[in-house]
């Protein structure tokens, strides 16, 4: 028989479940499973509480001590661990058959077991002694033994699998090789995760910081940062919320860079208090950012922040996307020059006609994900060549603002706009400068400088971009532009992610007409900066909080 034929036979080989061992902490759906086994004349061996539940449901069971040859002892710490039980699971049904007979070992074909609820006890604040008592020993031993011998034994450790296992037993009288192999993998994942969590908690008990993370469901991406790099995307096991869960409604497969920018777009608006928020991301930086009362107007203002960089961008919204907003992109306009090329649109949902409209572009990725789900994130991690960085997520619900210059700021009136600017700056790569303004009832990122090793260059870039954007929107006579520029820049706020080391940043901003600056403060030259602001007629607000994003 050739290898392919052998594999086919192996994958369809069914083992009959003649004898099963049931010992579970989580007893949900247990009785229904046992009833299916009983209907197939399966002998059921059981322990303590599991046995009581089954017998109360009218099913006969064999007490574990009759198989182990030993009583349950030490308050239940010893029940299943024995030569007889583990041998019944581990012996090779072909090579070891005669030895098993000589030793009076009868095969067990199925183990149904889940583990003591150590994690739940820990989460509920159980004492150290309670935690210790809920470290399962016999359960992992049985599960691993059955999983190792999956060629002959099935192991069932997740009640979510009971339904399909029951159906297969009912239809086929047992479980196929493929099913046993699938259950084997899940069993080893369970014991690995269980031991990892116990180890982490025990390490913390003696003051050691340990992180053990598991990622699963890896899927290939189109490519990595560059086309010659392979890439995969994984979901953190057990995470309540994951970017992995984005729902692709249209378009090409995602690349590594797409995922990074999608994450940046979602993070930029996940904590927006406004009814509508829009972020436009290019190379992980918001090149457009706006908040306000109407979705289309919010998008238009975000787009105006940098129409050139918005080409090929990732755009996220915090509300269901309307057809009116979708039509802004003119994806099928007869005049191709009017079509706005973007890579990805993300929203919590899409009006039916909006989705239909966007799906006309077969390459445009349309993703369903609610950015607001991420505002519970507690930690950030970054893997670096055999090491891991961990930090608290940069979440500051409200800053302690203080006006520090002769020209004071009405913080009650201006706080909302300043906080908008701080939400923008904490999502821009440092060194970062953002210039934000109020446009009617909307807030807009007017210009930004990102990722510069020199803060003065970031200040220059942010001001130049703001001036260029104001030039683009100005519709009056050329001779009046400087007046308009001075008025708009004078009412805008320049936000810095970290303190200014020298007064040259203030002096440069003043040449563009900036009259309002917000920065963390904390430099040894703060007095020099305040003096420069007073001399130039600039108000300055300290936030007390730095927002670097490396």
Helices (H) and strands (E) in the chain, counts: 20, 23
Token code pair at residue 3: 């290898």
Tell me how far apart the alpha carbons of residues 361 and 332 are, in angstroms, rounded to a whole number. Answer: 8
Tell me how far apart the alpha carbons of residues 279 and 270 are, in angstroms, rounded to a whole number. Answer: 10
Buried b (16+ CB within 10 A) or exposed e, 138-163: bbbbbbbbbbebbebbbbbbebebbe
Q: Do 31 and 14 form a contact (C-beta atoms < 8 A)?
A: no
Whether 148 sits among the annotated catalytic residues: the reply is: yes
Place of tokens 């009640």: 159
E strand segments, 356-492: 365-368, 379-384, 387-392, 402-403, 433-439, 442-449
Whether 283 sits among the annotated catalytic residues: the reply is: yes
**β-pair partners for 277:** 291
Tell me how far apart the alpha carbons of residues 184 and 148 are, in angstroms, rounded to a whole number. Answer: 7
How do beta strands 402-403 and 14-16 pair?
unpaired
CA distances from 47 to 14, 52, 61, 66, 340 (A): 27, 8, 9, 11, 66
Angle value at C-alpha 246, between 245 and 248, nearest 5 degrees: 130
Place of tokens 């010992």: 23
Catalytic residue among 119, 148, 186, 415: 148
Tell me how far apart the alpha carbons of residues 142 and 430 are, in angstroms, rounded to a whole number. Answer: 53
CA distances from 374 to 263, 367, 546 (A): 10, 16, 21
How do beta strands 539-542 and 516-519 pair?
parallel
Helix, strand, coil % over all residues of the chain, rounded to 5? 45, 20, 35
Q: What is the dihedral of CA 530, 532, 536, 537, to 10 degrees?
A: 10
Tell me how far apart the alpha carbons of residues 269 and 443 are, in angstroms, rounded to a whole number. Answer: 13
Indicate the helix (H) or strand (E) that contains 90: helix 83-90
Catalytic residue among 182, 283, 330, 415: 283
Q: Do 11 and 179 form a contact (C-beta atoms < 8 A)?
A: no
What are the residue numbers of the active site? 148, 283
């Amino acid at each position: 028989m050739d290898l392919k034929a052998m594999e086919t036979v192996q994958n369809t080989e069914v083992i009959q479940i003649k004898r099963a061992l049931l010992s579970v902490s989580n007893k949900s759906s247990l009785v229904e499973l046992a009833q299916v086994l009983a209907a197939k004349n399966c002998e059921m061996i059981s322990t303590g509480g599991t046995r009581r539940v089954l017998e109360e449901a009218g099913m006969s069971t064999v007490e574990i001590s009759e198989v182990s040859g030993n009583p349950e002892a030490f308050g239940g710490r010893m029940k299943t661990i024995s030569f007889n039980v583990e041998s019944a699971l581990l012996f090779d049904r072909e090579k070891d058959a005669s030895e098993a007979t000589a030793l009076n070992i009868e095969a067990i074909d199925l183990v149904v077991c889940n583990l003591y609820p150590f994690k739940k006890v820990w989460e509920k604040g159980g004492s150290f002694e309670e935690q210790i008592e809920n470290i399962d020993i016999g359960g992992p031993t049985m599960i691993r033994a059955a999983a190792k011998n999956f060629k002959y034994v099935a192991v069932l450790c997740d009640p979510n699998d009971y339904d399909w296992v029951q159906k297969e037993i009912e239809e086929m009288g047992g479980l196929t090789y493929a099913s046993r192999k699938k259950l084997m993998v899940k069993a080893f994942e369970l014991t690995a995760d269980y031991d990892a969590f116990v180890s982490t908690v025990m390490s913390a008990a003696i003051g050691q910081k340990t992180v053990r993370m598991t990622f699963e469901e890896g899927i290939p991406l189109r490519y990595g940062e560059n086309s010659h790099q392979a890439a995969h995307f994984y979901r953190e096991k057990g995470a309540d919320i994951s970017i992995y869960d984005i729902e692709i409604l249209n378009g090409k497969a995602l690349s590594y860079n797409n995922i990074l920018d999608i994450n940046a777009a979602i993070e930029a608006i996940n904590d927006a208090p406004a009814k509508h928020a829009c972020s436009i991301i290019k190379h992980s930086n918001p090149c457009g950012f706006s908040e306000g009362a109407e979705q289309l107007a919010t998008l238009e203002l975000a787009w105006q922040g940098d129409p050139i960089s918005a080409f090929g961008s990732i755009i996220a919204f915090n509300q269901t996307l309307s057809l009116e907003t979708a039509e802004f992109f003119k994806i099928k306009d007869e005049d191709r020059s009017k079509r706005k090329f973007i890579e990805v649109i993300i929203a919590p949902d899409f009006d039916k006609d909006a989705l239909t409209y966007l799906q006309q572009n077969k390459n445009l990725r349309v993703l369903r994900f609610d950015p607001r789900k991420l505002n519970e994130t507690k930690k950030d991690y970054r893997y670096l060549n055999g090491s891991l960085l961990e930090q608290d997520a940069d979440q500051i619900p409200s800053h302690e603002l203080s006006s520090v210059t002769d020209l004071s700021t009405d913080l009650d009136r201006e706080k909302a706009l300043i906080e908008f600017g701080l939400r923008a700056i904490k999502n821009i790569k440092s060194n970062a400068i953002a210039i934000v303004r109020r446009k009617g009832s909307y807030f807009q990122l007017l210009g930004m400088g990102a990722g510069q090793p020199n803060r003065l260059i970031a200040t220059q870039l942010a001001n130049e971009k703001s001036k260029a954007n104001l030039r683009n929107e100005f519709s009056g006579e050329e001779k009046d532009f400087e007046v308009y520029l001075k008025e708009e820049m004078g009412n805008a706020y320049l936000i810095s992610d970290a303190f200014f080391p020298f007064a040259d940043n203030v002096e440069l901003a003043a040449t563009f007409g900036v009259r309002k600056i917000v920065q963390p403060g904390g430099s040894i030259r703060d007095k020099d900066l305040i003096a420069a602001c007073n001399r130039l007629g600039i108000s300055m607000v300290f936030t007390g909080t730095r927002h670097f994003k490396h």
